[in-house]
Amino acid sequence: MQTKAYAAQSATAPLAPFGIDRREPGPKDVALQILYCGVCHSDLHTARGEWPGVQFPAVPGHEIVGRVTAVGGAVKKFKPGQLVGVGCMVDSCRGCSACKEGLEQYCEGPVGFTGTYNGPIGGGPNTYGGYSASITVDQDFVLAINHTEKDLAAAAPLLCAGITTWSPLKHWKAGPGKKVGIAGIGGLGHMGIKLAHALGAHVVAFTTSKDKIADAKKLGADEVVISRNDDEMKAHNGSFDLIIDTVAAPHNLDTFLTLLKRDGGLVLVGAPSSPHPSPGAFNLIFKRRSLAGSLIGGIKETQEMLDFCAAHDIVSDIEMIPMRDIDKAYERMLKSDVKYRFVIDMATLG
């Protein structure tokens, strides 16, 4: 099926219209018309060739929501007309221990999981993402959206920003009695605040942007700290169970490690193109602190997160843009000027 899309032809080219071919649905496939697609900072890293192994042309987009148009004969869970989502993955080996545990993002198969775009991660034919009119995906990688249709666009960012913060919050047991920090109030960070708050944790937001303080409180933060203010940071020394770091640029990790209590953990989800300076060993040794990372989330936990958000009336705070404004949106994203996720209205694809 010929499908309209937007692609970067190289790391320095602006995104522009591009025709792609989507497969006709096979027996286990679901075809959907894409109605909205969120704009993740990973899209920008990819379109501008900031990560190793980017294949061009690149069609970004992995916060996809839309309506099922056709299903294969073996598909039982989805039917035409239904609202569904597709996140960061469209396939995996299904046989390795990670896949069997529902952690397809850590697939140990020969090429790892297949990213919705620029996949499989271990190399192979390039996949094209959600900056497009339609997509065909194996039913096992399609999510049911139980939000109302009026919330559909604002639910799109849950497919990456939501699950990427939900997964470490659940893994490191954020909840009542826990003090949880969220560093960086962008797409991921604002969802991290909402989700940690909904899970019952005491939430502290760290930001470099003074103008986000009032918003962070509305999003659910109990306290907001300007991370470049040493005195404000020091007041929280040794007090956090968990800090999730969503910052998309290299920075000093010791400033956050110092804030962890004994056995606390700093979890990196931000994926800057160049490394953070290495933290000092003493900050880790003396309080048995951990420095960890976390990658998106599995399909099962993504559905759990979507259902939790539908039940708790949680969506993203979004700014809708037409497809043609994508490069302007990337520029604003680089200036931390997004409140708090751009979502593309796919009706503007033309």
Residues forming the site for ligand NAP (CB under 6 A): 40-42, 45, 160-161, 164, 184-189, 207-209, 212, 246-249, 251, 269-272, 294-296, 333, 336, 338
Rounded Cα distance, 91 and 110, in Å: 13
Strands (E), 39-129: 64-71, 83-86, 89-91, 114-115
Binds 247: which of ligand NAP, Zn ion, none (CB < 5-8 Å by kind): ligand NAP
- The answer to whether the CB of 69 falls within 8 A of the CB of 31 is yes
Determine if 160 is a binding residue for Zn ion (CB under 5 A): yes
The DSSP line for 292-347 is: EE--S--HHHHHHHHHHHHHTT----EEEEEGGGHHHHHHHHHTT--SSEEEEEGG
Determine if 103 is a binding residue for Zn ion (CB under 5 A): no
Binds 249: which of Zn ion, ligand NAP, none (CB < 5-8 Å by kind): ligand NAP
Determine if 96 is a binding residue for Zn ion (CB under 5 A): yes
Residues 23-62 vs Zn ion: string with x where CB under 5 A? -----------------x-x--------------------
Residue 291: strand pairing partners: 266
Stretch of 85-93, 131-139, 205-213, 223-231 lying at the interface with Zn ion (CB under 5 A): 85-93
For Zn ion, the closer CB: 3 or 165: 165
Q: Which residues contact 94 (CB under 8 A, 6 or more apart)?
A: 109, 140
Q: Which two tokens stand for residue 321?
A: 């843009």
Binds 296: which of ligand NAP, Zn ion, none (CB < 5-8 Å by kind): ligand NAP
Determine if 203 is a binding residue for Zn ion (CB under 5 A): no
- The answer to whether the CB of 173 falls within 8 A of the CB of 194 is no
Minimum distance of Zn ion from residue 25's CB (angstroms): 23
User: For residue 261, what are the CA distances in angstroms to 170, 194, 222, 239, 252?
Assistant: 19, 23, 18, 5, 18
Binds 333: which of ligand NAP, Zn ion, none (CB < 5-8 Å by kind): ligand NAP
DSSP state of 279: P
The only residue of 54, 65, 87, 92 in contact with Zn ion, by rule CB under 5 A: 92
For ligand NAP, the closer CB: 136 or 316: 316
Minimum distance of ligand NAP from residue 259's CB (angstroms): 15
For ligand NAP, the closer CB: 61 or 186: 186
Backbone angles phi, psi at 265, to 5 degrees: -130, 135
Applying CB under 5 A, the residues found at the interface with Zn ion are 40, 42, 92-93, 96, 99, 107, 109, 160
